[in-house]
């Protein structure tokens, strides 16, 4: 488990989670508002901490390779 920080755009809160990406994936729910939280920063800063600018988020489907729109 590692500590992951993400900004929730729904309730405008900075969220800290203890999270296992391999086991739990890149989809979480905000503990403040309950809305879906996409762990984008964890996706772009992989295990070796290199920044990968390969985000494929689609605003049309509200999804990416790790988070389906559902």
**58: Cβ–Cβ under 8 A, 6 or more apart, which residues?**
64
β 13-19/27-29 pair status: unpaired
Q: How far apart are CA 48 and CA 54, in angstroms?
A: 15
Confidence grade of residue 13 (pLDDT, cut at 50, 70, 90): very high
Q: Is 80 exceeded by the pLDDT of residue 66?
A: no
**Would you kindly state where each structural domain of the chain is located, as residue ranges?**
2-44
| pTM confidence score | 0.69
pLDDT of residue 46: 67
CA distances from 60 to 12, 16, 56, 63 (A): 22, 28, 12, 8
State the average pLDDT for the chain: 85
């Amino acid at each position: 488990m590692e500590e992951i920080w993400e900004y929730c755009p729904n309730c405008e809160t900075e969220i800290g989670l203890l999270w296992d990406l391999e086991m739990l994936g890149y989809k979480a729910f905000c503990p403040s508002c309950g809305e879906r939280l996409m762990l984008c920063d964890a996706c772009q800063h992989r295990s070796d901490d290199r920044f990968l600018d390969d985000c494929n988020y689609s605003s049309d489907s509200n999804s990416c390779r790790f988070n389906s729109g559902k």
